[in-house]
Amino acid sequence: MSKLVYLVPLFPLLGFLINGLGRKSLSKSMISLIGSGVILASFIVSGMLFFDVKANGASVITLFDFIKADGFQIPFAFQVDQLSSIFLLIITGVGFLIHLYSSAYMHDEEPQHYGRYFAYLNLFVFSMLLLVLGANYVIMFIGWEGVGLCSYLLIGFWFKNNDYNYAAKKAFIMNRIGDLGFLLAVFWLLFRLGTVSYGDVFANVSKLSSFDITGITLLLFVGAMGKSAQIPLYTWLPDAMAGPTPVSALIHAATMVTAGIYMIARSNILYTMAPATQTVVAVIGLSTAILAATIALQQNDIKKVLAYSTVSQLGYMFLGLGVGAYTGAVFHVMTHAFFKALLFLGAGSVIHAMHHEQDIRKMGGLKKYLPITHITFLLACLAIAGIPPFSGFFSKDEILTAAFGKNPLYYIIGVGGALMTAFYMFRLYTLTFLGNFRGTHEQEHHLHESPWQMTFPLIILAILSVFGGFLGIPEVFAKDAHSLEHFLSPIFAGSEKITGEHSHPAASQEYIMMGVSTILIAIMIGIAISRYKKYQLNTDENTGLSKVLEHKWYVDELYDAVIVNPLNAIAGFCKNIIEKSGIDGLVNGVGRLVGYGSRQLRLLQSGQVGNYILIMVLAMVVFVLVWFNDNAIMNFLNKIL
C-alpha cells in the first residue's frame, strides 16, 4: 500500500498541469471539478496510507536517485510514517475543503484567472506534500521553496494592485532570508555527516559535536522563523492577507506556516540534543505569541486580526517544540488547522456577503443574516480561546502544561497570551456578529448566506474544531486516552529516551491550573462581549498604547528605517552613480568620443576640389620630406625620447 505514496503528490501536480495549461479553454465548472477532485483523490490515498501506517508501521519508499555523485547520493525518497501521514491528512483534508470553498468564493473571476487560481492552489498543495513526504532534507527543501513560490504567486494573485504585489514580494523575500538559514544547515549536515537522509542523520547524530548540533539546529530554526512567521521574520504573514481569503486559509491553516513546525518535529532528536537551541526556540515562540496577541487586540481588519492570531498560535507551537512537547506542538498544528481554516473561511463568507468590506467597525449584527457562518465562527472562536471541551483547549493546555514543567514563567506568560487570545477573538466576534449593523443600507440590503460550497466546508471544519480535541485527552482525565501521543510515539521515541519521563505536575495542581485558566478566559470573553456589544462607529484617532498597537508596535516602520531604506539607498546609489555615470558613462563616452572625432574629420571632406588638391599636395610634400630624411627624423626622435 505505501508503494502508492507517489500518488499523493502526483494528483495535485496533474491538477496543476491541466488547469494551468487549459485555463483558457476549460470552463469554470470543469476547472473547479479538476482542482478540487485531485485534492480529494489525494485525501483518499492519504487516508489509506494513514491506516496502512497504523497497521504496518513506517517505511521509506525510494523512487529514483535525485543526485548521485562520487561518494554520496541523494535519493528521491518518500518518508511514510506516523508524522507525515498525520500531516498528509491535514493538508489534503483541509486543503480539499478550501478548494471546494474557493470554487464558489472565486466565482466572479474570469475563467482564465479562475484556472490560474486553481493551478496555483494545486501547486501549493503539491509543494507542501513534497515537503512533508520527503525522506531527506533536500526533498524537503524542494517543497520548502515550492510553498514559498506559491505563496508569492497567490498573495499577488490580484496583480493589478501594486500594494498586493508589494505584499507578495515581502513574503517571498522574508522567506528567502529564512531559506538561506535552512540551506546552510543542510550543507553543514552534508559536510559533517555526508548524508541528508533522515534515517542516517538521526542514527548518526551522536557523531556531531555539540557546537555542530547547536549551529545546525539554530540555522534550521532560522528557516522555520521565515516560513512559520516568528520574530523577527513574521511581518510578511499579516501582509499576506492581500491574497484571496481562501488562500489565507490555506497558508495559515493547512500549508506553509506549519512547515516550520513539521521540520522541527521531524528533526526532534537534533533539537533535544541541543538544549541551548531549545531555549531559543521557546523564548522566541513565546515572545512571538505575546507580541502578535497584543497587536491583534487593536486591529480592525477582520483578516488582520486572524493573521496576527495565527502568528500568535504559531508562537505557542514553537513554545511547545522548545520545551520538548513535540506531540503537543503537532496536536496544536492539527487543531489550529481546523479552527483557523474555519475562521478564515468564515471571514471569507462575511467578506463575500459584505461585498468586500473587511473593516469590522463597519459590520455588526450579522448574526441574523448569516446563521451558519455565525454558528461555525462562534464555535471556532470558542475553540481558539481554549474553552473546554473544544479542540483548542486540549492542545493549548498540553503545550502550557509542558511549559510549566520546564519553567513556570513560560506558563504564566503563556496563559497571559491565551487571555489576550480570548479577548481579541471575542472582540472580533462581537463586532462582526453582535450589536447593530453599522454598514451602508445598500450592503444591508444585499446581505445573504453563502452558497453550499462555502457553508459545507464551514460545517465540516466546525465539527472537527469541536471534536478534534478528543484525539489528545490529557492523562489526568483518563489514563492512556491520548491517542495522538500513542500514535506518534515512534517518531519522538529517540527524544523521550534522552529527556526521560516528562515531569507532570500533580493531578490536583493540573486541575487547578486548568480551572483557573478556563475561568479567566471565560471572564475575558465576558469583558470583550460586554465592552464591544454597544460599539458605535467613531473615527477618533486612538491614543497612547492603543495607537502603538494599532500600528503594530511600529515594527514595519522600524524594518523600513533600518533595513529597507538603507538597502534602497544603496541600490539607488548603485543605479545613479555606479551604473549611470560609471558604466554607462564609460560606454557612452567611447561612443561620444568616436562621434566627436567623426564630426571633426568630416569637415575635411568639404566638397571643395581645391581643398582636396591642396591636402594631396601637402601630403605629398610631407611624404617626400619624410622619405628623404628618415635618418634625420630617427635621430631626432632618438634624441628626444
Partner 1 sequence: MPIQYYIYLCLTLFSIGIIGVLTRRNAIIVFMCVELMLNAVNLLLVAFSKMHHGVALGSSPTTMVGIEGQIFVFFIMVVAAAEVSVGLAIIVMMYRNTHSVDINFLNRLKN
Distance of closest approach, residue 165 Cβ to partner 1, in angstroms: 54
Distance of alpha carbon 313 from alpha carbon 229, whole angstroms: 11
**Other Cβ atoms closer than 10 A to 359:** 15
Instruction: Quote the radius of gyration of the chain (alpha carbons, Å).
Output: 32
Q: Are 281 and 271 in contact (CB under 8 A)?
A: yes
Half-sphere exposure of 213 (CA within 13 A, CB side): 21
Subset of 573-632 contacting partner 1 (CB under 8 A) = 605-610, 613-614, 617
Q: Which of 380, 413, 420, 387 is nearest to 297 (CA)?
A: 420
Decide whether 545 or 616 has the Cβ nearer to partner 1. Answer: 616
Decide whether 617 or 633 has the Cβ nearer to partner 1. Answer: 617
Distance of closest approach, residue 603 Cβ to partner 1, in angstroms: 12
The verdict on whether omega for the bond into residue 75 sits within 30 degrees of 0, i.e. cis, is no
Distance of closest approach, residue 605 Cβ to partner 1, in angstroms: 8
Decide whether 506 or 609 has the Cβ nearer to partner 1. Answer: 609
Phi/psi for 153 (5° steps) reads -65, -40
Per DSSP, 554 falls in state G
**Other Cβ atoms closer than 10 A to 193:** 19
Decide whether 21 or 614 has the Cβ nearer to partner 1. Answer: 614
Decide whether 603 or 637 has the Cβ nearer to partner 1. Answer: 603
Strands 72-80 and 59-69: antiparallel
CA-to-CA dists, residue 290 to 223, 384, 632, angstroms: 21, 15, 94
Q: Are 435 and 533 in contact (CB under 8 A)?
A: yes
Residue 109 DSSP SS3: coil
Count of chain residues binding partner 1 (CB under 8 A): 9
Distance of closest approach, residue 612 Cβ to partner 1, in angstroms: 10
Question: Which cell is 37 given?
Answer: 477532485
Q: Which of 591, 570, 573, 571 is nearest to 582 (CA)?
A: 573
Burial of 352 (C-beta count, 10 Å sphere; 0-12/13-18/19+): buried
Distance of closest approach, residue 565 Cβ to partner 1, in angstroms: 57
Question: Which residues on adjacent β-strands are paired with residue 472?
Answer: 482
Distance of closest approach, residue 641 Cβ to partner 1, in angstroms: 35
Interacting residues of 517 by C-beta distance below 8 A, sequence separation 6+: 386, 397, 400, 415, 418
Burial of 505 (C-beta count, 10 Å sphere; 0-12/13-18/19+): middle
Decide whether 207 or 602 has the Cβ nearer to partner 1. Answer: 602
**Other Cβ atoms closer than 10 A to 270:** 24
Q: Which of 160, 161, 151, 173 is nearest to 247 (CA)?
A: 151
Distance of closest approach, residue 159 Cβ to partner 1, in angstroms: 54
Distance of closest approach, residue 615 Cβ to partner 1, in angstroms: 11
Q: Which of 191, 184, 195 is nearest to 217 (CA)?
A: 184
Subset of 251-280 contacting partner 1 (CB under 8 A) = none
Decide whether 609 or 637 has the Cβ nearer to partner 1. Answer: 609
Decide whether 553 or 612 has the Cβ nearer to partner 1. Answer: 612
Distance of closest approach, residue 606 Cβ to partner 1, in angstroms: 7
Distance of closest approach, residue 575 Cβ to partner 1, in angstroms: 43
Decide whether 506 or 603 has the Cβ nearer to partner 1. Answer: 603
Decide whether 571 or 621 has the Cβ nearer to partner 1. Answer: 621
Decide whether 565 or 606 has the Cβ nearer to partner 1. Answer: 606
Distance of closest approach, residue 620 Cβ to partner 1, in angstroms: 9
Subset of 292-331 contacting partner 1 (CB under 8 A) = none
The contact set with partner 1 (CB under 8 A) reads 605-610, 613-614, 617
